[in-house]
Structure 1
Amino acid sequence: MTKNDGYLTDLFLEGLEKKAEQALPEEVVKEAKLSFIDYIACAYLGQKILKDKNEKTLAFLGNDSGNAILIGTGKKVSSHTAAFLNGINAHVAELDDGHRYGMMHGGAPVISVLLAVSGDKKVSGDKFIKGMVMGYEAAIRLAAAIQPGHKLKGCHATGTCGTVGAAMAVAYMLDFTKEEKKAALSAALTDAAGLLEMIDNTSTLKPYNIGRAAVAGLDAALAGISGFSGPYDAMGGKRGFLQLYAGEKVNYEYLLEGFGDKYVIQMIYRKPYAACRHCHAAIEAAMVCAKESGIDISDIKDIDIKTYGLAVGGHDHKEISGTSSAKMSTPYSVAAAIVSGQAGFQQFEEPYLSDERIATLMDKVRVEEDPELSKLVPDKRGAIAVISGQDKEHTVRVDYPKGEPENPVTEKEMHDKFISLLGAAGISEEKAEEMLEKVWKTDSEFDELLKALAE
């Protein structure tokens, strides 16, 4: 199947249908459950982080009643409010899953909209998982096809392609017809938005792009089910999505065929560090380098980080204006990780943000592009850390930071992450363990999980 075989919108949907027609393999269902576990943990923590902002939103909306779960509050709200706030909450801690080829996060927009719709539509756990898998498939196929040009244009793929993924997730969970899917996809493509400018300076609006993607995906699905029809080719038309949002090159194989026999959800990364994923290889290389070198922190003269070009611009700043700014900064992330030995969500909040040891070490960090590492993207997104002391230096290279499929987070590590993040959100270990058991039974006891999430 090539771009010359018809309208790209139709061909894209045909490619998705080939996947959707197959019974989901057991290993794919397992990956979906792991993604759900990751999402729930991030959403609980996000609600804790943004509690004041979320309460202001709900107060402004007034009597926003509905059947959709707002995770971590014990409240049920309208589907739009749930999609929006859960989407924001699931991303704000910068611990949600992603995909290195697509340079985007799939879970926050896709799972948020599915949970929002599940409040009003009685769906089975099997259908929910199918919606998840196909939502990831749609969003990340599209993102991978237009990266890195999409990012270089200043577009935030989790906002743009996440909208498409959210719409398709609903369409597949609820078994839309072919015509309804095309209309929903067309609506999502015209709704797609997200500026990377939102990560700069003192902005805290990066998670807004994700919440908006979930809501826009819901609206696009409503357009599809309501009987609207789109143009022949909203994706590939002369004024379509690719014309506006793709760079000079589109990878039509990723767009139309995906990644061969693998499902996209089998290729995602899961994050152990609470910084932008572009910082992770540097964080890991620096932590290992500092430990192996034996150089005392006070004796470090320089920390040189060499990495791929896309991880430099927007991530090499040393003026830290708050948590969001710190999470985007490789110098801060590296310094905090070396000083504390960790890069969890706590390291991007006070008292670490004001820690003089971190500030002093951060000034010694230099970040620059290594053209050879840039050539390896997206197959590898690595970094080299060189730490120099008074009389010696040490070098460590990381090609696949922890969490990539080639260096995966284990089930035990995911368990510990879940318990830890829920604990930080005020949930007891006993209750967290009970909820985790229910997530593993999503396909058979979905209603019980929804009840637990609503508490």
Structure 2
Amino acid sequence: MTNQIIQHIRSITPESISQEIFQQTKKCLVDYLAVTIPGVCSFSNKTLNYIQTIGHGSENATIIGLNCKTDMQTAALINGMNAHVIELDDGHRHGALHIGSTIFSALLAVAEKEDLSSEDFLYGAIIGYEVTVRLACAVQPGNKLKGYHATGTCGTVGATMAIAAALGFDEEQMKSALSAAVTCAAGVLEMQEDNADYKPLNVGRAAMDAVAAAYLGKARFTPPFDAIGGKRGFLKVMTDEPKTKYITEFDKNSPLAIMQIYMKTYAACRHTHPAIEAALTLRKKYSFLPQDIASIEVEAYKLAVAGHDHTDILGISSAKMSLPFSVSLALCKGCVGMDAFNEENVKNETILALTKKVVVKENEELSSWVPKKRASILHITMTDGRVFTHQVDYPKGEPENPLSDNEIEEKFISLAMSSGFTMEHCNDILHTIKQPSFKLKTLLEKLN
């Protein structure tokens, strides 16, 4: 199976990729930068302490937003963590994972040392998305049910192949790099519990290990025959029910994975988004007050219940994982962006009281729709007996309900300006990326 997926990605040449796909990749890059820049603020003191402890290394890779350079692996680690911390990074519904935060963090880490052209960089990203999503679709939902975070497990391999493609590896080097990535693949979902900081580490570590795996492959270390499909390979370890068709069957008429992703508008786990959108819709339509709500019921699919139904909120990270809190925040404040998940709201008595009134339960029909749809049904019962109900099948940002180019640019400007960038600075960055060809070193300089 390893050879089959390598043959597939080698068949996707730069010449075979349409301008529409390259434009989509630039859109993903803008979205990545939109979430990474404010992410810097979340961990800045801890990040600086970490860098000071381990040293700056060779200083050939930029840490976005901190105006400093370090070695490639450390830059990939820090940028990857920062890209995921505010929970606004892109993802894939079928694969149930985030993608761009790992892929772009790994690619940017090698871009300066290798003096990558924007064309090779974007091509690498397209391949990285393809591999990540195919692996994720092959192991889900079993990977998540085992407690793995596919963003880390599948993302390590995808980010490695992104670098391999961008650097023009031959088939032997690609197989070596992919095999190295498979044995590095890791990430567990327990990291999202108890208000821990370490869920973003699953992203950062994947990007960091991708750099190491790629250069091991470049050096031509000898791999096993089949790291993906072997008797103790990736598929056997990561799921009890592998869907091998995603690794062995390739339809040239099917869209590439990067055209099938979602982008986020709400700064909470994607599993909460259908219910959040339903809450915002009902709030706008009926203009009720939080204190007039007697109870709330969220019907969701199975994967959105476990790990997301808690009503004891321990902090911001805990709040972002909680369906009850996210719905209550939407109903009380009318917004669920990055700024809404703050210490004040996490301790707000009205929001917390409403959170306790929320019950989350599995709807088996909704579970049966996954992964074609990830829907929620929200029922709000008022103290006067009225019941308001709304169902959302495709929250904003899904391929069926996409964010436009302008909406992504607005997301970037809003988040970057909230982190201290000026409008002129934001427009300068966007102008650079919009060019048919641009210098990655120039772009990275503009990000500090």
Q: TM-score w.r.t. structure 2 length? A: 0.97
Shift of 1:448: 2.9
Task: State the partner residue of 1:5.
Answer: none
How far does the alpha carbon of each residue in 1:302-325 deviate from its partner, in whole angstroms, 9 at most, with x for none?
Answer: 111101010000000011111111
Task: State the partner residue of 2:223.
Answer: 230
SS in 2 for 1:396: strand
Q: Is the 8 A contact 1:281 1:382 kept in 2?
A: yes
Over the matched positions of the two proteins, sequence identity in percent amounts to 43
1-side partners of 2:7 and 2:183: how far apart?
20
Shift of 1:22: 4.7
Q: TM-score w.r.t. structure 1 length? A: 0.95
Equivalent of residue 403 in structure 2, options 404, 409, 433: 409
Task: State the partner residue of 1:61.
Answer: 54
SS in 1 for 2:377: strand
Equivalent of residue 288 in structure 1, options 281, 284, 296: 281
> Taking structure 1 as reference, are residues 63 and 291 closer, same or farther at Cα in structure 2, changes over 3 Å only?
closer
| Structure 2 residue 321 is the aligned partner of structure 1 residue 328 | yes
SS in 2 for 1:270: coil
Task: State the partner residue of 1:422.
Answer: 416
How far does the alpha carbon of each residue in 1:256-303 deviate from its partner, in whole angstroms, 9 at most, with x for none?
Answer: 427853011111100000000011111111211232234322211111
Shift of 1:447: 4.2
Alignment of structure 1 residues 5-84 onto 2, 5 Å: 8-20=1-13, 22-84=15-77
Task: State the partner residue of 2:271.
Answer: 278
Equivalent of residue 168 in structure 1, options 145, 161, 164: 161
> Taking structure 1 as reference, are residues 173 and 211 closer, same or farther at Cα in structure 2, changes over 3 Å only?
same
Task: State the partner residue of 2:426.
Answer: 432
Task: State the partner residue of 1:100.
Answer: 93
1-side partners of 2:171 and 2:5: how far apart?
12
Task: State the partner residue of 2:210.
Answer: 217
1-side partners of 2:132 and 2:398: how far apart?
18
> Taking structure 1 as reference, are residues 113 and 442 closer, same or farther at Cα in structure 2, changes over 3 Å only?
farther
SS in 1 for 2:197: coil
2-side partners of 1:246 and 1:22: how far apart?
35
How far does the alpha carbon of each residue in 1:9-41 deviate from its partner, in whole angstroms, 9 at most, with x for none?
Answer: 101111222223652211111110111001111
Q: Which amino acid in the other structure matches residue 314 of structure 1?
A: G
How far does the alpha carbon of each residue in 1:190-219 deviate from its partner, in whole angstroms, 9 at most, with x for none?
Answer: 110011111112322000011000011111
Shift of 1:255: 5.6
How far does the alpha carbon of each residue in 1:124-183 deviate from its partner, in whole angstroms, 9 at most, with x for none?
Answer: 100000000000111111001111111111110000000001100000000001000000
2-side partners of 1:76 and 1:253: how far apart?
38
2-side partners of 1:315 and 1:267: how far apart?
25
Q: Is the 8 A contact 1:100 1:269 kept in 2?
A: yes
Task: State the partner residue of 2:177.
Answer: 184
Q: Which amino acid in the other structure matches residue 452 of structure 1?
A: K
Structure 2 residue runs of 5 or longer lacking an equivalent are: none
After superposition, the CA RMSD in angstroms is 1.4
> Taking structure 1 as reference, are residues 259 and 276 closer, same or farther at Cα in structure 2, changes over 3 Å only?
farther
Task: State the partner residue of 2:394.
Answer: 400
Equivalenced residues, count: 447
2-side partners of 1:226 and 1:373: how far apart?
48
Shift of 1:254: 5.8
Shift of 1:250: 1.7
2-side partners of 1:444 and 1:52: how far apart?
32
Task: State the partner residue of 2:125.
Answer: 132
2-side partners of 1:438 and 1:402: how far apart?
27
1-side partners of 2:277 and 2:33: how far apart?
25
Q: Is the 8 A contact 1:145 1:255 kept in 2?
A: no
Q: Is the 8 A contact 1:289 1:386 kept in 2?
A: no
2-side partners of 1:128 and 1:402: how far apart?
28
